[in-house]
Amino acid sequence: MTTTHILGYPRVGEKRELKFALEKYWKGESDVNELRHVASEIRQKNWTLQQDNQLSFATAGDFAWYDHVLGTSLLLGHVPKRHQNGTPDLDTLFRIGRGQSQSTCGCAGHAASDMTKWFNTNYHYLVPEFSSADTFELSWTQLFDEISEAQAQGHTVKPVLLGPLSYLYLGKEVEEGFDRLSLLPKLLEAYQAIFAKLEQLNVEWVQIDEPILALELDAKWLDSFKGAYQTLQTNLKLLLTTYFDSITDVLPTITEINVDGLHIDIASSPEQLSTVVDALPAQWVLSAGTINGRNVWRANLVEKLAALQDAKAKLGDRLWVATSCSLLHSPVDLDLETKLSTETKDWFAFAKQKVAEVNWLAKALDGDAQAIAYCEQYSQPIIERSKSTSVNKESVQRRIAGLTAKDAERSAAYPERAHHQKEVLKLPLLPTTTIGSFPQTSDVRKTRAAYKRGDISTAQYTEIIQGFIKDTVERQEKIGLDVLVHGEAERNDMVEYFAENLAGFQTTQFGWVQSYGSRCVKPAIVVADIEREHPITVDWTTYAQSLTDKPMKGMLTGPVTILCWTFPREDISRETITNQLAFALQDEVSDLEAAGINIIQIDEPAIREGLPLKARDHQHYLEWAVNAFKVSAASAKPETQIHTHMCYSEFNEIIDSVAALDADVITIETSRSNMELLNAFEEFNYPNEIGPGVYDIHSPNVPEVEWIEQLIEKAATRIPVERLWVNPDCGLKTRNWSETEESLKHLVEATQRLRTKLA
C-alpha cells in the first residue's frame, strides 16, 4: 500500500479562528488559556481530517503561533538579545514578531525582527539574527507537546522540522564580518538534542525541510550538507524535504546525505521525477509531491496517475504520494464556498480537498478499481475546461498579440519628466506622503459587508464611503502631509479589489491564506482572459481630490503583484496573464490622468517575490515583469508622476531591473532593516527619486521623532536629499487611528526639522 502524507496544513482555521483569537489576546481581551484552546481545536481538526482521508501520517509541527521559522528560533533557544528576558514564552515570540513599545513593557521598547518573503511565495517569515556569541539550546517545547497531543488522539505522527542548513541560510548576520555558517557545529548539537527527544516520543519518520536545496547554492553551503547530516546520529528515519523547484542540479550531493528518503516537488518541476527515480539510493523512499500545494485548481488525477506509473513500477512501496509543499499556501475548505456556481466550484480544490486527492491518487496507483474510476470522474471538469473556448476573449488576445516595445515606453525620459513634474507639483524638499491605505475601522468593514449583502443601496454606500474619504483627507491635511491619498476605504484588499472589478477573475468567500502572524489575504483566481470593462478607481480618487488643493495620489496595484497574489490559470503562461493585466491598468492610468490626477502610484511589492529560484531563469522573468509594469504606466504624460512601492524584499540582485521600471518615485521598506536596503540603491547610483520607509507599520510601536530624524539623515548619506521622499514603509490599513495619527505627526515633525538642516 502506497504511503501518503502532506507536508503541512493551514494553521489559521477554516474561518480564521486563530487570527481572531490572536488579536483578541493581543488586545488583552482574553487570556493565554483561551488562546491555547482555540489553537488546540484547530490542530485536532487538522489531524482528524488527515486520519479520515486515511493518510499514513498526521503531520505535527506545522502549527505556528506567528511563523514557523520564528517557532524554530524559540525551539533552538535562539532569541535576539533585545528580546531576551528569562525563559522564552509565548509573549517573547509575539515581541519578536510584533515589536514592543515602551508603554507596553515599561522599558526602552524593542523593534520587531526583520521580516521577508518565504522563497517566491507571499508568505512572510521572521528572519533569524546571527552573531558570534550565539548559543543554541532546547528551551521551547511546542514541537514535543504537539506530538504528544496528536499521539494521545491515536495518530501516527510525522513531525516536520526546518533543517539546520536552511535555518542558518534564511537568517542574517548582525555582526559585521561574521559568517553565520560558522555556527553550524553549535547548531547541530541542538538538533542532536531535538532528535534525542523525538526518539523518546517513539517517532519513526521526521520530515526535515531543507528547501534551500532548490536554490543555486554557493559551494560552501552545498558542501556543508554531507558533513552536517553525517554528524547527526539518530535512529530516526529522516525524509529530506525540498520544494518549489527542481533539485536535479544538486542530486549528486543529495544522494550522499545521510538520510532515509527524499521529497521532491513535481508540481513545480515534473520533469525531475524520472531523473530522481533513476538516481535514488537503493534504500531510500521517494516522496512525490504531486498534488499542487500552491494553487487552487482541481488536480487532473488521470494525468497525475499516468505520470507516477513508471516510478511506481521501479520503486514499489518506496514511492510515497504527497502534496508538493505545505498546504499553508492554499485556502482551507472549498465546501464553505456557497456562492460559486456548480461549474466553477468543480474546477477548484482547497487544502481539505487536496488531502482527499492525495488519498485517491495513492489508491489508484495501487490498482484500486474504484479509485481509478473516481479519478476519471473527478478529473472530467478540469479536462473539459481545458478544451473550452469560453475563457478566451478575442479582443484581449488581439491586444496581447500586437504588443510591441513601443507600448512599454513613456513619451519622455526621466530627466525631462522630473523637470515637468517639479513645475506642475511644486513639492517641498523631502515631500511627505503615505503608501496608500489608512485604518480599516470596524465601521468601514461593516459598510462594505452591508453593501455586499444588499442591505444598503449603491447611493447609500457611495455616500458613506465618501464620508470616510472626507475624514481621511481632513486628517492628512491637519497632520501636514504634502501628498495625500484617499485612504482606500472601498477596498477589502489591494489585489482582491481589482480582481472584483476586472473581468476574468473569480473571488471567494472564505479563501483565506496566511501572510504572516494574524494577517491573512484572500487571493482571487484567474479563470479567464482579463480586461477592464469600466473605470475602477477614478470616481473615488477625483472625489478625494475635490476636497483639497494638495496633490492626491491615484492608487493602483501593479500587474506583477496582481499575478503573484492571485491563483493564476495553469493553461497559459504567467507572462501572458501579466500582460493582460498591464493593458487593463494602462487604461485606468489614462482615465485617472484625464480626470486631473497628476500622481499615480502603481504598487509592485511582489516583483522580487515572483523571481524564479534559479538564477538562470531570472533574466527572462525580469524582462517580461519589468515590461509589464512599463506598459501599465506608458500612457502617462511627462508631467504625471508615476510612483511604485515595494516592501520586504531583497533588492540587491535585481536593482538594475528595479531601475528599469523607470518609475519617477519608488517607495521601499527600510525601517526594520535600519536603512540597510538603501545600500543597493546607493551602490547602483539609482537615478530616480526614493522614499525609504521611516517606520514599521506592522508593529504597534509609535516611532519617536528623533528615531525618524536619524533614519532620514542616514538615508541622506546614501541618496541625494533632493531625491528623497519621507513615508511609512507600507500601507496603514492594519493600524488604528490613534497610532497612525501620532506616528504621522512625528514623521512630519521630523521632516520639518530636517528641511532646513539638510537643504
Active site residues: 698
The reply, when asked if residue 398 is annotated as ligand binding, is: no
The reply, when asked if residue 172 is annotated as ligand binding, is: no
Over its C-alpha atoms, the chain yields an Rg (Å, rounded) of 26
Q: What CA–CA distance (Å, rounded) separates 188 from 206?
A: 16
The reply, when asked if residue 565 is annotated as ligand binding, is: yes
- Type of residue found at 539: D
Collapsing DSSP states into helix, strand and coil, what is residue 378?
helix
DSSP label at residue 495: T
For residue 312, give every residue at least 6 positions away whose Cβ sits within 8 Å of its Cβ, in sequence order, or none: 2, 319, 365
Q: What CA–CA distance (Å, rounded) separates 610 from 649?
A: 11
In the chain, count of helices (H) and strands (E)? 28, 21
CA dihedral of residues 204, 209, 214, 216 (deg, nearest 10): -120
Long-range pairs, 532-539, Cβ under 8 A, ≥24: 532/501, 532/502, 532/503, 532/584, 532/585, 532/587, 532/588, 533/502, 533/503, 534/501, 535/588, 535/591, 536/497, 536/498, 536/501, 536/502, 536/588, 537/588, 537/592, 538/588, 538/591, 538/592, 538/595
The reply, when asked if residue 669 is annotated as ligand binding, is: yes
Contact predicate 160/114, CB 8 Å? no
Q: What CA–CA distance (Å, rounded) separates 646 from 715?
A: 17
Residue that is written with C-alpha cell 554531507 in the block: 226
The dihedral sign for the CA sequence 205, 207, 158, 327? negative
Nearest to residue 193, comparing CAs of 141, 156, 128, 130? 141
State the alpha helices, DSSP H only, in 388-457: 394-401, 414-425, 442-453
The reply, when asked if residue 18 is annotated as ligand binding, is: yes
The reply, when asked if residue 645 is annotated as ligand binding, is: yes
The reply, when asked if residue 208 is annotated as ligand binding, is: no
Nearest to residue 584, comparing CAs of 316, 301, 747, 393? 393
- Type of residue found at 123: Y
Q: What CA–CA distance (Å, rounded) separates 639 from 650?
A: 31
The reply, when asked if residue 107 is annotated as ligand binding, is: no
The reply, when asked if residue 117 is annotated as ligand binding, is: yes
Q: What CA–CA distance (Å, rounded) separates 696 from 708?
A: 11
- Type of residue found at 733: K
CA 684 to chain CA centroid, Å, is 27
Q: What CA–CA distance (Å, rounded) separates 652 from 636?
A: 28
Contact predicate 430/724, CB 8 Å? yes
Identify the helix (H) or strand (E) that includes residue 461. Answer: helix 458-479
The reply, when asked if residue 435 is annotated as ligand binding, is: yes
Binding residues for L-homocysteine: 435-437, 488, 603
Binding residues: 16-19, 117, 122, 435-437, 488, 519-520, 565, 603, 609, 645, 647, 669, 730
